[in-house]
C-alpha cells in the first residue's frame, strides 16, 4: 500500500534524524570524513536521482494519493527535512516539532478509511500557526544579534588562522549541504597570498562603507552588519569580519531559507551551502498555499511585528546586508509541475498583502533611509575546468578603474538628461521595441535623471540607471534566453503599458513568470531602466560560455536592463542622493512609490527583478529629445556616443 510506503519513507528519515542527533552529541570527537558521511546521508534522499521516486516529490505523492492529500503529504515530508539545521544547532524543540508533525499525520490515518484531507490540513495548519512566532524570533535573532548563528566559531577571531582543514571541518559542522565545490573554494582562498585575499575582502567591505558615505547615511549609528555568503567563502568572511570590527561593526549571519517558516527558494538569502536539488525548492516554494487563509495571514503579520518589537533596539542598530554572491553551480532547467502546491486567485492576494505589510514592518524597525548594503560576486569551482582563469578575471572585473567608468558614464548621463524618453529596439531575433519615459528636470544645473553607478554598494562598476515615469512607458521587452535568480527562461516577452506589465509569456509557461517575476502580483511597474556598461564582463562571459551562470549582479552590467517591481530607492525616496559631479538624482520615485504617504499598501511590491538585454541582441538604444532629436548611445551592440569608445575595446580585444 502507498500509505505504508509513505510512512516507511518518512519514519526512516525520522530515525536517521534521531541517530544523527545522538552522534552529534560528540561532534568534537568526529573527524571531517565522518561529518561528511553524515552530511551525505541527510541530504542524499533529495538528490535528483532519489527525488524521482520519493514521496517528497509532489508528482509521486499526488499520483499515489490524489491532488489534495498528495500535496499535503508531500509538504509534510518536505518539512521534515527542515529539521536538519536543528541537529547542528542542538535545538531539540525544532527537531521535536517536526517529528511531532509526522506523528500527528500518522495518528490521523485510518487503516479502513485512509487519509482525510481535512485532518491533515488541520494538523499542518496547527503546526504552522503554533510555531510561527518562535520561527520569526529565531530568524530575527540570527539576523540581528551577533553570536547566534550556528557557525561555531567567531569569524573575527584569530584562532583558526585560515587553516583550510579546520574551516572545512567547521563547514560540515554548520549543517548545510557540502560538495567538492565548497571544499575546493575554501582550499583556494586559504592558499591565496594574504595580500590578495585581504584585497578581495577589502573591496567587499569598502563597498559597504562607501555605500553609507555616498548616500549620506550615518554609519556611526549602526552596530551590526549581516553577512550573506556561500560557506565556501568563509576564509574571505574571516578577513572581512575583522575589517568590519575595526570599523565598529559586529557581524551577524542568518541561515538561508529552508522551511515553510523561512521560505524556500532556488536563490538562497543568508548563509548557505550547495543546493542538493533546486527542483525540490521550486516544488515546495508554495506549500503555504495549502493552509493559507485570511485569519492565518493576519497571524503572520502579528507575529512578525511581535518578533520585531522584542528586538527593536537590535533592529535599529542593523546597518544592512553585505552579500557575496556566487555563480557557477550546475545548470538547472526548472520543471513546472501541475502536482506542486500553488496559489489560487484568493490566496495569491493574501500573499501579496502579507508581502506589502511585512515590508512596511521591516522598514519601520530598520528604516530604509538609515540602512545600506553591498554585494559582490565570484565563481565557484563547480563552474568547470576554466575556474582558475574565470576566478582571476572576475577579481579584475570587480576592481576595474573607478574613474574611467565614472567619466564615461557621465557623458551618457549628460545626454540622457536632455532626453524626454529612451528608445530601445532589439536586433535579429530579438523583438524588443520599448519606449521609456523619463522625469523632467526643473533645475538642470543641479539635478540629474540617472545615477552614475560605480563601485560601492553594487560591485562591479558599470551602469547608469533611473526610475522611469510610468505613464508613457510602453512597448515590448524580449530576451531570447536568460537566467533570473537561477531559473532559465526562453523567449521571455513582457508587454508594457503605461509602465506596468500588461501581458507576459515564455516557452516554460506563464506560471514560472507569475511565481518568480511577478511574485503573485497581478502586475508590476517598471522600477528601473538602466544601461549596463561593463563590456569586460560581457566578453568574459562569451569567452568562457558562462552567460547562463552569471549572477544578475554581473549580468545586469552586460547590457541595458529593466527591472520590474520597486525602484532602486525603495523606502528611501526622501533621502537626497548625489552623483560624483554633485548633481542631485531626482528620479527616485514613480507613480506607485509616490503613494507611500497616502496609500502605503499600493506603494511597494517588495520585489525587484532585473532583465538584461545583451549587447548582441541590441539594435538601438537612443536618447530622444523633446523636439524629436535622436542621439544614439548604442547601435548594433556597440557604443557610438562620442567619449564612450573605450567601452568597445574589450569587443575588439
The domain spans of the chain are: 2-127, 164-375, 401-652
CB 592 within 8 A of CB 470: yes
Query: Helix count (H) and strand count (E) of the chain?
Result: 22, 20
Q: Is the dihedral of CA 546, 227, 485, 48 positive or negative?
A: positive
Give the chain's end-to-end CA distance (angstroms, integer): 65
- In eight-state DSSP terms, residue 441 is P
Q: Which of 231, 230, 242 is nearest to 197 (CA)?
A: 242
Of the candidates 422, 434, 405, the one whose C-alpha atom is nearest the C-alpha of residue 466 is 422
Residues of the chain with pLDDT under 50: 158
Return the pLDDT at 155: 67
Secondary structure letter of residue 354 according to DSSP? H
User: Which pLDDT belongs to residue 550?
Assistant: 85
Residue 296 phi/psi, 5° resolution?
A: -70, -35
Nearest Cα neighbor of 34 from 45, 24, 47, 49 is 24
Which whole-number Å values give the CA distances from 452 to 197, 214, 583, in the listed order? 28, 11, 10
Q: What pLDDT does residue 567 have?
A: 95
User: In angstroms, rounded to a whole number, what is the distance separating the alpha carbons of residues 254 and 92?
Assistant: 19
Q: What's the pLDDT at 154?
A: 64
At 161 the pLDDT is 61
Q: What angle do CA 241, 242, 243 make, to 5 degrees?
A: 90
Residue 4 exposure: Cα atoms within 13 Å on the Cβ side: 3
Closest by CA position to 620, among listed 636, 639, 643: 636
User: Residue 425: beta bridge partners?
Assistant: 433, 620
Q: What is the pLDDT of residue 162?
A: 65
What whole-number distance in Å separates Cα of residue 367 and Cα of residue 315?
Answer: 9
Provide the pLDDT for residue 502: 97
Determine the 3-state secondary structure of 583 from DSSP. Answer: coil
How wide is the angle at C-alpha 215 spanned by C-alphas 593 and 213, nearest 5°?
Answer: 160
The whole-model pTM stands at 0.86
- Give the model's pLDDT for residue 156: 62
CB 570 within 8 A of CB 605: no
For cell 524543540, name the residue.
93
d(CA 128, CA 104): 13
Residue 403 CB contacts under 8 Å (≥ 6 apart), including other chains: none
Q: Are 423 and 435 in contact (CB under 8 A)?
A: yes
pLDDT for 139? 94
Which residues fall within 8 angstroms of residue 108, CB to CB, at 6 or more apart?
A: 115, 116, 119, 120, 123
The four Cα atoms 538, 543, 548, 553 give a dihedral, to 10 degrees, of -30
Q: What is the pLDDT of residue 488?
A: 85
pLDDT confidence of residue 46:
95
Q: Where are the beta strands (DSSP E) in 554-597?
A: 560-565, 584-585
Amino acid at each position: 500500500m502507498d500509505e505504508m510506503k509513505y510512512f516507511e519513507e518518512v519514519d526512516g528519515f525520522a530515525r536517521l534524524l534521531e541517530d544523527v542527533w545522538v552522534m552529534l552529541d560528540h561532534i568534537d570527537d568526529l573527524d571531517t570524513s565522518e561529518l561528511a558521511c553524515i552530511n551525505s546521508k541527510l541530504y542524499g534522499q533529495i538528490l535528483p536521482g532519489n527525488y524521482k521516486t520519493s514521496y517528497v516529490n509532489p508528482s509521486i505523492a499526488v499520483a499515489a494519493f490524489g491532488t489534495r492529500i498528495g500535496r499535503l503529504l508531500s509538504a509534510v515530508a518536505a518539512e521534515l527535512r527542515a529539521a536538519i539545521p536543528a541537529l547542528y544547532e542542538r535545538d531539540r524543540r525544532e527537531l521535536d516539532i517536526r517529528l511531532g508533525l509526522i506523528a500527528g499525520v500518522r495518528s490521523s490515518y485510518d487503516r479502513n478509511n485512509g487519509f482525510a484531507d481535512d485532518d491533515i490540513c488541520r494538523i499542518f495548519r496547527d503546526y504552522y500557526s503554533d510555531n510561527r512566532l518562535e520561527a520569526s524570533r529565531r530568524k530575527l535573532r540570527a539576523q540581528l544579534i551577533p553570536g547566534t548563528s550556528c557557525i561555531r566559531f567567531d569569524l573575527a577571531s584569530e584562532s583558526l588562522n585560515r587553516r583550510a582543514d579546520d574551516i572545512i571541518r567547521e563547514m560540515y559542522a554548520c549543517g548545510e549541504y557540502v560538495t567538492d565545490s565548497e571544499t575546493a573554494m575554501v582550499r583556494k582562498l586559504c592558499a591565496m597570498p594574504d595580500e590578495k585575499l585581504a584585497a578581495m575582502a577589502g573591496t567587499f567591505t569598502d563597498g559597504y562603507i562607501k555605500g553609507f558615505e555616498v548616500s549620506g547615511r550615518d554609519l556611526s549609528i549602526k552596530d551590526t552588519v549581516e553577512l550573506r555568503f556561500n560557506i565556501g567563502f568563509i576564509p574571505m568572511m574571516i578577513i572581512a569580519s575583522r575589517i568590519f570590527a575595526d570599523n565598529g561593526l559586529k557581524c551577524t549571519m542568518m541561515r538561508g531559507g529552508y522551511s515553510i517558516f523561512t521560505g524556500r527558494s532556488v536563490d538562497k538569502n543568508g548563509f548557505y551551502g550547495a543546493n542538493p536539488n533546486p527542483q525540490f525548492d521550486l516544488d515546495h516554494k508554495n506549500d503555504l498555499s495549502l493552509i493559507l487563509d485570511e485569519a492565518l495571514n493576519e497571524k503572520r503579520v502579528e507575529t512578525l511585528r511581535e518578533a520585531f518589537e522584542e528586538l527593536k533596539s537590535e533592529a535599529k542598530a542593523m546597518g544592512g546586508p553585505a552579500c557575496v554572491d556566487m555563480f557557477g553551480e550546475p545548470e538547472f532547467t526548472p520543471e513546472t509541475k501541475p502536482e506542486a502546491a500553488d496559489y489560487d486567485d484568493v490566496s495569491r492576494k493574501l500573499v501579496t498583502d502579507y508581502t506589502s505589510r511585512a515590508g512596511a514592518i521591516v522598514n519601520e524597525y530598520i528604516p530604509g533611509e538609515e540602512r545600506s548594503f553591498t554585494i559582490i560576486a565570484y565563481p565557484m569551482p563547480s563552474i568547470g575546468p576554466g575556474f582558475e582563469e574565470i576566478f582571476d578575471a572576475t577579481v579584475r572585473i570587480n576592481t576595474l578603474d573607478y574613474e574611467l567608468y565614472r567619466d564615461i558614464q557621465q557623458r551618457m548621463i549628460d545626454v540622457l538628461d536632455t532626453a524626454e524618453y529612451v528608445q530601445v529596439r532589439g536586433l535579429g531575433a530579438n523583438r524588443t521595441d520599448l519606449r521609456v519615459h523619463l522625469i523632467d528636470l526643473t533645475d538642470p544645473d543641479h539635478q540629474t535623471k540617472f545615477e552614475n553607478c560605480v563601485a560601492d554598494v553594487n560591485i562591479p562598476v558599470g551602469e547608469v540607471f533611473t526610475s522611469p515615469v510610468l505613464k508613457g512607458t510602453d512597448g515590448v521587452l524580449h530576451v531570447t534566453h536568460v537566467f533570473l535568480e537561477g531559473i532559465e527562461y526562453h523567449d521571455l516577452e513582457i508587454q508594457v503599458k503605461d509602465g506596468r506589465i500588461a501581458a507576459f509569456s515564455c516557452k516554460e509557461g506563464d506560471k514560472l513568470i507569475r511565481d518568480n517575476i511577478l511574485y503573485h502580483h497581478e502586475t508590476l511597474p517598471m522600477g528601473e531602466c538602466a544601461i549596463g556598461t561593463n563590456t569586460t564582463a560581457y566578453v568574459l562571459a562569451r569567452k568562457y560560455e558562462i552567460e547562463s551562470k552569471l549572477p544578475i549582479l554581473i549580468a545586469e552590467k552586460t547590457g541595458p536592463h529593466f527591472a520590474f517591481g520597486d525602484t532602486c530607492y525603495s523606502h528611501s525616496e526622501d533621502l537626497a542622493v548625489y552623483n560624483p559631479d554633485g548633481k542631485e538624482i531626482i528620479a527616485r520615485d514613480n507613480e506607485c512609490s509616490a503613494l507611500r504617504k497616502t496609500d502605503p499598501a499600493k506603494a511597494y511590491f517588495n520585489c525587484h527583478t532585473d532583465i538584461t538585454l545583451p549587447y548582441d541582441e541590441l539594435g538601438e538604444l537612443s536618447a530622444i529629445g523633446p523636439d524629436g532629436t535622436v542621439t544614439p548611445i548604442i547601435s548594433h551592440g556597440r557604443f557610438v556616443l562620442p567619449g564612450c569608445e573605450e567601452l568597445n575595446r574589450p569587443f575588439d580585444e
